[in-house]
Chain A
């Protein structure tokens, strides 16, 4: 573990929100009969854009926190005003595929075309390309090597389970792209997403107890603090932005802020700092 993090803090947390909106529900329903026409499951995703983002922004503003929002490019095209609003409030907007597709194609040419098309949408809507990328599908080694050569790209979040940033390795060689360590324990979707038909999760396991989810998240923060690790969340406006679940986010932030020396800020700042110090 590093001896210290940004500003000499003992641990670092980036709150990340995936603004998936309707993309994941469209993909989910696509294999079901007449699935393109479903409106109930889709409406769960619509909440994210209609209310969830604003709820999250309000909470972040109250606690004076800057965060990172990962946005599929199609959602940026369809809802450019709200995405601009996120950016205007000082948060980072990062790349999360076009349709939240689970495959970027079988050749790096295909993959790079999709990625570059998304970056062009970012540039068109926000006036700049994203420096961060949480891909929703596997990247081929040649794709990563090509991304490394593009000056805009700073960090990736392609893996889960590690505890500190590292340089992304391709063919056993380190690249200059910083990989930030996400963990499933910080994914609200895993705990709280639900739909009866099409089933989400597949087993139709229960929506977890909010107080248990909050308690577990606090224990994860405790652990990261004790061992000096960093935390990258995968929260969703359509999940933690709903009325009752937003109380989880609020109380988690209040808990984090009781620690005097946990740094909290966007992924971009964390990755940049790590790169400058390693």
Chain B
């Protein structure tokens, strides 16, 4: 693997914009004991974010000619096939967000393997070529999860928070997998998700000032440049694509494009560059 602090074309640091698409399956998985009618507000919001939100995300990325990595679950692919086609047509990277929104750490290895393999197959069938990236749904994962990802032919994982730059994660099998780490501070969903019943977040926390959240992301980017790192943003259509918040993506892209030091790349490009793939 190449030195993960030396970036192409004299760039000081790297930045990847990733979009997580989990839609209503996130809530069905999180509230298995509730009937669908009891999570209606979340379901409506999630569905709207796929149908109205994703095209807005695509238009914003297009405005700045930025290619992003979309982590897509198999269930989302099957339910929103037309929207996913738009993402593919615009040339973005497609990666696996597992099968649904299951908490993989709670499943036995066989079950994990089945879900991850199915998701990879379905996505590859849709786009007609191999996919390289794997991200577990919000929740936990174990070393076995990453071991399965490596066995299934994924080239990189983007799941952990243990570094400011990509690194090789050593697996119990003595193989390794490239990890492209991120951090919670760089995810939009924890800042913005809000619902009264069921309570999201559980403490019914108030929604923070949008511009100040944008500033947190900017500070992280500046810090990444100082540390010659790799800044991996995670936006979820359920939160970033709302009418009032899509401008955050717009302003963030404008900000990173002004930073000449940054190599703006998809996770696949980062993985290919580092691994020589």
Q: A39: which of B141, B185, B190, B222 is its contact (CB, 8 Å)?
A: B141
- Do B106 and A243 have beta carbons less than 8 Å apart? no
Q: How far is the CA of A32 from the CA of B143 in the complex (A)?
A: 17
Question: Which A183-209 residues sit within 8 Å CB-CB of chain B?
Answer: 192, 194-197, 199, 201-209
Interface string of A160-189 (1 = CB under 8 A from B): 000000000000000000000000000000
Q: Interface extent on A, as a size class?
A: 35 or more
Q: A203-B201, A207-B191, A209-B208 in contact; A243/B142 too (CB < 8 A)?
A: no
- Do A203 and B203 have beta carbons less than 8 Å apart? yes
Q: Interface extent on B, as a size class?
A: 35 or more
Q: Choose among B142, B162, B208, B217 the residue with the greatest number of A CB atoms under 10 Å from its CB.
A: B162
- Do B103 and A197 have beta carbons less than 8 Å apart? yes
Q: Quick check: is B205 within 8 A (CB to CB) of the other chain?
A: yes
Q: A203-B203, A204-B201, A207-B185 in contact; A34/B105 too (CB < 8 A)?
A: yes
- Nearest CB in chain B to that of A48: its residue: B162
- Do A40 and B224 have beta carbons less than 8 Å apart? no
Q: Quick check: is B91 within 8 A (CB to CB) of the other chain?
A: no
Q: How far is the CA of A96 from the CA of B222 in the complex (A)?
A: 32
Residues of chain B within 8 A of A197, CB atoms compared = 103, 138-140
- Do A37 and B142 have beta carbons less than 8 Å apart? yes
- Do B184 and A47 have beta carbons less than 8 Å apart? no
Q: A38-B140, A197-B139, A207-B190 in contact; A244/B185 too (CB < 8 A)?
A: yes
- Do B202 and A203 have beta carbons less than 8 Å apart? yes
Q: Quick check: is B14 within 8 A (CB to CB) of the other chain?
A: no
Question: Which B200-217 residues sit within 8 Å CB-CB of chain A?
Answer: 201-206, 208-209, 212-213, 215-217
- Do B212 and A242 have beta carbons less than 8 Å apart? no
State which of B50-58, B225-233, B263-271 sits at the interface with chain A. B225-233
- Do A202 and B183 have beta carbons less than 8 Å apart? no
A64 to chain B, nearest CB (A): 19
Q: A205-B201, A205-B203, A243-B229 in contact; A43/B140 too (CB < 8 A)?
A: no
Q: Quick check: is B39 within 8 A (CB to CB) of the other chain?
A: no
Interface string of B88-114 (1 = CB under 8 A from A): 000000000000000101100000000
Q: Quick check: is A50 within 8 A (CB to CB) of the other chain?
A: yes
- Do B231 and A243 have beta carbons less than 8 Å apart? yes
Residues of chain A within 8 A of B181, CB atoms compared = 43
What are the nearest 10 A-B pairs in CB distance? A203-B203, A243-B223, A204-B201, A244-B220, A209-B212, A43-B162, A244-B219, A46-B162, A43-B160, A37-B142
Chain A: residues with CB nearer than 8 A to chain B? 29, 32-34, 37-41, 43-44, 46-47, 50-51, 55, 192, 194-197, 199, 201-212, 242-247
Chain B: residues with CB nearer than 8 A to chain A? 103, 105-106, 136, 138-144, 146, 159-164, 181, 183-185, 190-191, 201-206, 208-209, 212-213, 215-217, 219-224, 226-227, 229, 231
